[in-house]
Amino acid sequence: MQTTATEAGTPEAAICARNITRDFEAGQTTIRVLHGIDTEIRSGEMTYVVGESGSGKTTLISIMCGILWPTEGEVKVFGTDIYKLSDTELVKFRLQNIGFIFQQYNLIPSIDVAANAAVPLIAQGMPREEARERAKVLLDKLNIGNQADKLPRQLSGGQQQRVAIARALVHEPRLVVCDEPTAALDASSGRRVMDLLREVAVAPDRACIIVTHDNRIFDLADRIIVLEDGRITHDGKEMPDDH
Amino acid sequence: MLTGDAQKFYGLLFGIGFSTLLITQQMTIFVNLVERGASGVYNAPEAEVWVMDPVSRTTDVSYAMPGTALDRVRSVPGVEWAVPHLRAQANVRTKDGDLEGVAVIGVDDATLIGMPQRMATGDKSVLYAPDSVVIDDVGTTRLFSNGASAIGERLELNDQRAVIRGIADSIPSFTSTVVLYTRYSSALNFVPGTRNRLSFVLVGVSDGQTAQEVAARIEAETGLKAETREEFSQAGVDFIIENTGIPTNFGITVFLGFVVGIAIVGLTFSLFLRDNIKQFGALKAIGVTNAKIVQMVGAQAGMVGTIGYALGVIGTVAFIKGFSANPFFKGFYIPWQIPLISLLAVVIILAITGLIAIRSVLKTEPASVFR
Ligand SMILES: Nc1ncnc2c1ncn2[C@@H]1O[C@H](COP(=O)(O)OP(=O)(O)OP(=O)(O)O)[C@@H](O)[C@H]1O
Ligand SMILES: [Mg+2]
């Protein structure tokens, strides 16, 4: 990744989504949740996906990061048409290229913070100790280096989410995907987590997509995509006035 | 992962430990108990071949032969020595006036062949004294439960006087009946009865002959039944297996141990995996393969299984050791096959429950983690 958005001046598409639709079977009927989404996500930016509950935000980013098959359409992530990969190739692709942050942190309760943050590296085959050391550097950056040997449940929600951030970034993925990262946190720790995330996650050669309801953190976005009933109704630097 | 959830960890440990204990302990008791059917053979270690009436089945189920059988056996080539052996039932009246059924065993007057190998108290030669009997050690606890010494005690044995002069260290019979050893000639006095009172002829074989060959020759030449030590002890074991409800009873308990293991372990396993389904989903989204997850869960199950199994086996050993002073458990040992069988049971329990439980994890869509 020599050519980056900022250096080149022309933003490069990290994700290129073409005509994405997604249907869900609900009993006898089929519900179309996404209606032909066309968009590109650029590296070097923090892109927010916002919208009412049920508008299809989670569905959209799940498809963009290779964990949910679209009914129709094509998703290229860094040039790779991910749904043309085999199952095992796709799993490997995610492990190499994508970092995940979940609403409920989803840390492994029985292993300590450093080990949790090191999971992607260990899964990639790095020796445990080396992986832990790498994870600790990142935990330090996130101001929880002194918690490295604790179990997740001994940490506050905000601290746990910072561990999750470390886990999402430790293997230096080119794409970071977060679904409602602050939903389980109170306002001030949510804000602090997002400030930190912006600080450590945003890089010229990395794209960052965040799904959120939380309008207190909209100011951190480089770009905001608004979804309504499975269609993009706004795409810009600021929120539209009617929201 | 499992170790992070103390409750379920101990639940699994308990399930596996309990199953192992139940299976190992019940099978151990079963094997030892059933082997007591051969105690009569084990307690007469010098006899290499047992000769008996063709209808006799075990040391305790025998039909007497005419006294001439002894000479006929002695004349068979390959018989180094042959001695008479009497086994009969009698009643004793104890000092307290209780009546107790006993087994009277008459051993060879001259050589005392037919006695157990070791004595707990006294010497075998005490039997040469008149009216003398040697009691077995478990019998002592039965006849003299208050802990008083049995030596020198008088018994009324079918209205005859008998004096206990020694205690034999012997393997208890299946029914733990009190056993009194005495010389063949005095046994005939103690046990009045019909003309034929020769239960067995015990035979030693000459050098260069096998017990099998000699037994076959005895059968051919005398028309009596002759069995080697091994055959006759097996016959005793088989008799217990065929004629008691023991195999069924123990079989049911062992089976229950297995089922309870499956139930506890299966339930705990499923609960554990269900509680952590989001975490597994997260791992799958991140890019951890199903194979890695199976490996992870397998390693944990293996660890819990090993600890639980070890606890169960240790528990059984402690149980057997703890009760070794109890006459019922005298000489109990754990045959090496039994821990192997319970290990197999544990592996099967973990494999079945693990496979069922992990299916839900493998089926989990990584996308579910965002929901
Ligand atoms: N697996 C599924 N099966 C059936 N319907 C689904 C499934 N996943 C999502 N849906 C439906 O698709 C629609 C969009 O869901 P999605 O989770 O993408 O919305 P969202 O914008 O993320 O909402 P929220 O803000 O509440 O998280 C909803 O109506 C939901 O019920
Ligand atoms: Mg959602």
**Model pLDDT for residues B140-183, shown as the tens digit of each residue:** 888 887 767 888 888 888 888 899 999 999 999 988 899 999 99
Confirm or reject: Cβ of A26 under 6 Å from ligand 1: yes
- Note whether residue A131 is domain-resident: yes
* Range of lowest pLDDT (A36-50, B85-99, B211-225, B288-302): B85-99
- 3-state DSSP call for residue B90? strand
Calculate how close chain A gets to B290, using CA atoms only, in Å.
Answer: 10
Number of helical H runs and strand E runs in chain A: 7, 10
Work out the average pLDDT over B236-252. Answer: 93
Domain boundary among B158, B190, B223: B223
Q: Which of B279, B287, B289 sits opposite A108 (nearest CB)?
A: B279
Q: Burial, B213: exposed, middle or buried (Cβ in 10 Å; 0-12, 13-18, 19+)?
A: middle
Domain boundary among B158, B191, B223: B223
Window B:349-368, CB contacts with A under 8 Å: 365-367
pLDDT of residue B3: 66
CATH number for the domain that contains residue A147:
3.40.50.300
Confirm or reject: Cβ of A59 under 6 Å from ligand 1: yes
pLDDT of residue A243: 61
Confirm or reject: Cβ of A58 under 6 Å from ligand 1: yes
Mutation site, A57, A82, A108, interface B, largest B CB count within 10 A: A108
**Model pLDDT for residues A197-234, shown as the tens digit of each residue:** 998 899 999 999 999 988 888 889 999 999 999 999 99
pLDDT of residue A3: 42
Q: What spacing in Å lies between the alpha carbon of A58 and ligand 1's midpoint?
A: 7
- Note whether residue A25 is domain-resident: yes
Across the interface, do B4 and A96 touch by the CB < 8 Å criterion? no
- Note whether residue B327 is domain-resident: yes
Contact A75, A17 (CB under 8 A): yes
Half-sphere exposure of B63 (CA within 13 A, CB side): 7
Asked if B208 and B84 sit in the same domain, the reply is yes
Contact A11, A45 (CB under 8 A): yes
Work out the average pLDDT over B342-370. Answer: 90
Work out the average pLDDT over A59-75. Answer: 95
- Note whether residue B58 is domain-resident: no
How sure is the predictor about B2, in pLDDT bands with cuts at 50, 70 and 90? low
> CA-to-CA distance for B295 and B204, rounded, in angstroms?
60
- Note whether residue A22 is domain-resident: yes
Instruction: With both helix axes pointing from N to C terminus, report the angle between A187-201 and A157-169 in degrees, rounded to the nearest 10.
Output: 20
Average pLDDT over chain B, rounded to an integer = 91
Asked if B198 and B93 sit in the same domain, the reply is yes
pLDDT of residue B138: 85
Window B:289-308, CB contacts with A under 8 Å: 289, 292
Q: Domain tally for chain B?
A: 2
Asked if B210 and B254 sit in the same domain, the reply is no
Q: Domain tally for chain A?
A: 1
Q: Beta strand A223-228 with B99-107: parallel, antiparallel or unpaired?
A: unpaired
Q: Is B5 on the interface with A (CB under 8 A)?
A: yes
Asked if B294 and B189 sit in the same domain, the reply is no
Asked if B210 and B89 sit in the same domain, the reply is yes
Window B:248-277, CB contacts with A under 8 Å: 276
pLDDT higher than 50, residue B276: yes
Confirm or reject: Cβ of A54 under 6 Å from ligand 1: yes
Contact A185, A157 (CB under 8 A): yes
Asked if B88 and B195 sit in the same domain, the reply is yes
ipTM: 0.90
Domain boundary among B170, B189, B223: B223
Asked if B157 and B290 sit in the same domain, the reply is no
Which residue's C-alpha comes closest to atom 8 of ligand 1? A59
Domain limits at A53? 5-236
Asked if B216 and B253 sit in the same domain, the reply is no
pLDDT higher than 70, residue B238: yes
Asked if B334 and B252 sit in the same domain, the reply is yes
Asked if B72 and B219 sit in the same domain, the reply is yes
Which ligand has an atom closest to residue A67 CA?
1
> CA-to-CA distance for B188 and B190, rounded, in angstroms?
6
Interface of A with B (CB under 8 A): 58, 61-62, 65, 67-68, 88, 91-96, 98, 100, 102-104, 106-111, 119-120, 123, 151, 167, 179
Across the interface, do A110 and B283 touch by the CB < 8 Å criterion? no
| pTM of the full structure | 0.81
**Model pLDDT for residues B88-125, shown as the tens digit of each residue:** 988 888 777 788 899 999 999 999 999 999 999 889 99
User: Which chain A positions have a beta carbon within 8 Å of B289's beta carbon?
Assistant: 88, 91
**Model pLDDT for residues B3-55, shown as the tens digit of each residue:** 667 888 899 999 999 999 999 999 999 999 999 999 999 999 999 999 999 99
- Note whether residue B240 is domain-resident: no
Greater model confidence, A4 or B210 = B210
Nearest atom of ligand 1 to the alpha carbon of B370: 17
Asked if B210 and B262 sit in the same domain, the reply is no
- Note whether residue A241 is domain-resident: no
Q: What spacing in Å lies between the alpha carbon of B122 and ligand 2's midpoint?
A: 88
pLDDT of residue A10: 45
Work out the average pLDDT over B234-259. Answer: 93
Backbone angles phi, psi at A161, to 5 degrees: -65, -30
- Note whether residue B54 is domain-resident: no
Q: Which of A58, A62, A110 sits opposite B1 (nearest CB)?
A: A110
pLDDT of residue B194: 67
Across the interface, do A119 and B286 touch by the CB < 8 Å criterion? yes
Domain limits at B87? 66-223
User: Which chain B positions have a beta carbon within 8 Å of A110's beta carbon?
Assistant: 1-5
Asked if B80 and B219 sit in the same domain, the reply is yes
Which residue's C-alpha comes closest to atom 17 of ligand 1? A58
- Note whether residue A45 is domain-resident: yes
- Note whether residue B231 is domain-resident: no
pLDDT higher than 80, residue A147: yes
How sure is the predictor about B257, in pLDDT bands with cuts at 50, 70 and 90? very high
